[in-house]
Amino acid sequence: MNTTRIVLCLIVAAALGAVHAPTSLQAFSFQESEDRERREEAFKAEERAAEIQRLLAVECDRKRKNSKIALLIGERVEEGGLLYEPQKYGPIFQEISGRLRALGLKTYTQEEIRSQIAAEEVRAFLNNDVEAAESAARRLSAPYLLRGMIKSRIRLNPVIKIDEVFVTMAFTLVTASGKTVSSVTAGGDSYSGADPMAVALDIVRREADLAVARIYSDFCRYGSK
């Protein structure tokens, strides 16, 4: 009987070990995964910082840096139409314009743009109308215009049953004659509500340093060509 009890105890102990082993291995696996993700994020951050530094190291002569840039932002809606509501895009405008100014470039304020260019003309420019670009540039005496286009869509996530917002932002720097100097895009999504502008602003705050660095580099290297 004692031998039987010993054998049973050994079997139970082995069974309990088998039950708990996967949990321990799983926990260890999760920790490994988190550590790996942190290392990857740190590496990406270092790469990003190095890329920004490389882009900003380009030489930019004083005359070109004194050439003013007009930032015009619009929104492409799903139906194929275009919205231009300057007050709505104010925070995004300030994020981009502020970074350009911090790099020594000259920009117009939203008030200057609204007072000198009709909304219809801005919409035409945002729709890639070259004549509108030339007209807007003449009115502002702006050698360069920076077009910011926001495109968003909202869909119900089938798994968690809440709205998911997808936003793409494209910035294109053009000359007064409509020639493209630089083009950059950024995108992202969010489950934190259905406000595309809030998501767009979050994307700009996360991506603007690199996006503006690319625009700056292209502007300094190719702006006069």
Please give the full DSSP string across 91-102, using - where no structure is assigned.
Answer: HHHHHHHHHHHH
Domain match, 36 and 88 both: no
Residues 51 and 75 placed together within one structural domain of the fold: no
Q: How many domains does the chain have?
A: 2
Q: Is residue 2 domain-shared with residue 20, that is, in the same domain? A: yes
Percentage of the chain modeled with pLDDT above 90: 40
Last residue of a domain, one of 57, 72, 103: 57
Same domain, 131 and 217: yes
What is the pLDDT confidence band of residue 27, given thresholds at 50, 70 and 90? low
- Quote the domain boundaries for residue 161: 61-222
As a whole number of Å, the CA-based R_g of the chain is 27
Distance (Å, rounded) from C-alpha 163 to C-alpha 8?
55
- 140-155 average pLDDT score: 88
Residue 9 vs residue 52, higher pLDDT: 52
**70 and 173 belong to one structural domain:** yes
Contact 64, 221 (CB under 8 A): no
What pLDDT, on a 0 to 100 scale, did the predictor assign at position 190?
A: 66
Dihedrals φ, ψ of 46, to 5°?
-65, -45
pLDDT per residue over 72-98, tens digit each? 999 988 766 888 999 999 999 999 999
Residues 206 and 113 in one domain: yes
My answer on whether 99 and 74 are in the same domain is yes
Residues 43 and 102 both lie in one domain: no
Same-domain check for residues 76 and 41: no
Q: What's the pLDDT score for residue 133? A: 85
Q: Are residues 51 and 68 in the same domain?
A: no
Task: Kindly report the pTM of this predicted structure.
Answer: 0.77
Looking at residue 7, what is its pLDDT? Answer: 40
